Amino acid sequence: MNVPREIESRLRRVSSRQNALVKDLRKALSQGEPTAEGCLAIEGVRIIEEAIRSGLRFQAVFFSEAGSPHATRLLPQIGSQVEVLLLPDEVFLSAVSTESPQGVAALVKLRPHKLEDLLESASDSLLVGVAGIQDPGNLGTIIRSAEAFGARAVLLGEKTVSPFNSKAVRGSAGSLFREPLIKVKLGESIAALKQHGVRVLATSSHRGKPLHEADFTGAAMIVVGNEGAGVPQEILSLADELVTIPHSPRVESLNAGIAASILLYEAARQRIKSLTRDEQGSG
């Protein structure tokens, strides 16, 4: 094993597939859900570095024999109290989900967020509501765009795929480590947010106000629906406005992740323009 002695001394060799932490890693990755301790399973050098950069707390880090050289790069950035396991390649492969793993995985603890905390400071916030997104890649893209364009939080409604799904984690490119994610009953949450002055704009493929005419300034939430069925009717009925993205009639609809990204970009553009105008007016 080609690693410095001080790094090698931190690696605990484990050869059993029945080790408790290995079982937690395997289950969390295969089911796309957190462990009993509330930890997210992640794999790959880049995504682990994003977790480090985001200041997350690690429960355990796993290296395969083939991936052990990554320990030299990663372990100095991870606290000394974190458990570090070195696994035979076949044991590591039995636990992870990618076809060509890099030989490193981890269990990390996400920061908890509550809707109540959001309601206390919803004024002027931009939020995203997700109503039944099923493709984890789409959800990852939405979370990534939410952070990129300044959304305060992403509210995950019923029948939405888990953000802990490994494809969602990869699709977010680390944004889910930083962007607040809150599982909610979307209808109830919308009612509560509207009481706090939040306007709700729901997406629609073919009807509603064209994107460039919609107002995304102030306290607002963009609601994106299921890839096939769109936003459920009961949620549409609660919206203050329906918004559509003009596009060629030859295309039935846009990918949910792309549509959300376009809406978030337009929201960010309007909000920056409004802020600049207010600053100039006060000057």
What letter would DSSP give residue 112? P
Q: Can 5-109 and 115-282 be said to share one CATH topology?
A: no
Separation in Å, CA 16 to CA 34, 56, 105, 137: 22, 27, 16, 32
Give me the DSSP letters along 117-184: HHHHT-TT-EEEEEES---HHHHHHHHHHHHHTT-SEEEE-TTPPPTTSHHHHHHHTTGGGTS-EEE-
Predicted confidence at residue 98, as pLDDT, reads 76
| Residue-level pLDDT at 122 | 72
CATH of domain 115-282: 3.40.1280.10
- The segments of the chain whose pLDDT lies below 50 read none
Strand partners, 86: 13, 63
pLDDT tens-digit map of 76-86 = 999 888 999 99
- Residue 121 to residue 47: CA distance in whole angstroms: 30
Q: How many Cα atoms within 13 Å fall on the side-chain side of residue 239?
A: 24
Q: pLDDT digits over 91-130, tens only?
A: 999 999 777 789 999 999 988 899 998 887 777 899 999 9
Put simply, whether the predicted model's pTM sits higher than 0.85 gets the answer yes
199-to-45, 187, 217, 220, 275 alpha-carbon distances in Å: 40, 14, 9, 5, 18
Q: Which residues of 242-263 are buried (b: 16+ CB within 10 A; e: fewer)?
A: bbbbeeeeeeebbebbebbbbb
Query: Residue 156: CB partners within 8 Å, gap ≥ 6?
Result: 130, 163, 181, 182, 183, 184
Residue 278: the pLDDT is 66
pLDDT the model gives residue 47 = 94
User: What pLDDT sits at residue 279?
Assistant: 65
Domain boundaries, the chain: 5-109, 115-282
Q: Give the per-residue pLDDT at 13.
A: 95
Identify the pLDDT of residue 25.
96
Distance between alpha carbon 154 and the CA centroid of its chain, in Å? Answer: 8
Residues 181-193 have pLDDT tens digits of 999 999 999 999 9
Q: Give residue 276's pLDDT.
A: 76
The single-letter code of the amino acid at 103 is: G
User: Secondary structure of 217-266 in the HEC alphabet?
Assistant: CCCEEEEEEECCCECCHHHHCCCCEEEECCCCCCCCCCCHHHHHHHHHHH
**So what CATH class is 5-109?**
alpha beta
